[in-house]
Amino acid sequence: MPTRCSRPLARRVRAAGTAAATVLTALVLSAPPALAAPPGPPEPRDPVTDGADGADGADSISSLLARLRVLYTRAESASEAYNATAERLKRQRAAAARATSALSRAHSELARSRAVAGRLAREQYRGAATGLPIGVRVLLARDPYGLLERGHLLQRAVGEQAAAVRRLTTDERRRSALAARARTALDRQQRLTDRRRDRRDAARDRLDEVEALLASLSPEEVAELRGLEDERTAEAQRELLGSGALGGGAAPAARAPSAPAREALRYALRQRGKPYRWGADGPGSFDSSGLAARAWQHADRKIPRTAQGQWRRLKRVPLRELRPGDLVVYFPGATHVALYAGGGKVVEASRPGDVVKVSPLAAHPLRGAVRVTD
């Protein structure tokens, strides 16, 4: 028989609304089933306000956990979306800077070429300014052959310089167009990043509301929530190990990691106890993908900053082939990640209000696993 949450607890959660519940689940809840849900689920109904007209005592803690889990997934997804957009903005800003620098160099090269062309044209003009035909000037010259040679050389230089000016003018126009496109792309990326940053900041602002909500819970209510979370996680872990997905056996055999994977895992384990913080990648706090990226950076391997990027770009490995240091990715949208520690455990930056810690592999719905290769 599922435990029912008290009427005051149900009323407080519903009164806090969707915004507060989003972060409440991040602070105290996230016990999911062990096996991954199929990707791309339909957009769920509002997990807090739907069905709020029912009796206060009708909501079991079990159903409340299920509702709040959806909100937690949305919150972490919004943070990951901002992180990914911010990374693209950084790259776009660098590309725009390179395009602007190239345009500046093209301006300088064209100006120098035009100056040389002008100087040659002036020399050519001075030679013709005597008003004498070229034949007369040759007859009167002390060195007729030298005069002719200089004239030919000057004429050729003027032609070559004019061609250089035309080429550099074309190059300048091309680089100007590239720089304009880069600036347009940068502006577009900046607007997208600003929108996603606003969503992220709104989620952070709600932390204060949730802290007030949590402060209103009795110790018995908090203990009841945490107890059910631990029970659900333990059950999910038993199901995962019993399914044979990790290769069979209650204690999966350890597989030797590569030297970089061993170093990345050591770094992650040394961060235990440090707080979770949205968008953080150390050294004092981490989010899930920030911990993974920093750990592998410590092992001299650069990987994508976001969980979605890690899932998309790194090599997929079956769960039965997991070895320490591999990245375990969670939720249908690949919005959470942890480092496999061996023995059916992971080290993760779990959620707001929690710390970097070792957790059961089935602490969240599994999406799959990826490996950083040499």
Backbone angles phi, psi at 359, to 5 degrees: -130, 160
In degrees, rounded to 5, the angle at the alpha carbon of residue 82 between the alpha carbons of residues 77 and 83 is 95
Please choose, from the candidates 257, 267, 274, the residue with its C-alpha nearest in 3D space to the C-alpha of residue 326.
257
Parse the chain into domains and list their residue ranges: 1-243, 251-374
Q: In angstroms, how far is the first alpha carbon of the chain from the final one?
A: 51
Q: Quick: pLDDT tens for 262-287.
A: 999 999 999 999 999 888 999 999 99
The DSSP string of 40-99 is: SPPPPPPTTTTTTTS-GGG-BHHHHHHHHHHHHHHHHHHHHHHHHHHHHHHHHHHHHHHH
Residue 208's pLDDT is what?
55
Tell me the pTM. Answer: 0.65
CATH code for the part of the protein at 251-374:
3.90.1720.10
Where the chain has pLDDT below 50, the residues are 1-5, 16-59, 129-141, 147
Dihedral sign, CA of 365, 288, 92, 316? negative
Which residue type sits at 46? D
Q: Quick: pLDDT tens for 80-137.
A: 888 889 889 999 999 999 999 999 998 888 888 888 777 767 766 555 544 444 444 4
Residue 125's pLDDT is what?
58
Burial of 157 (0-12, 13-18, 19+ CB in 10 A): middle
The beta strand positions in the chain, using DSSP E, are 315-317, 327-330, 336-342, 345-349, 356-360, 366-371
Say what percent of the chain tops pLDDT 90. Answer: 40
Pairing mode, strands 315-317 and 356-360? unpaired
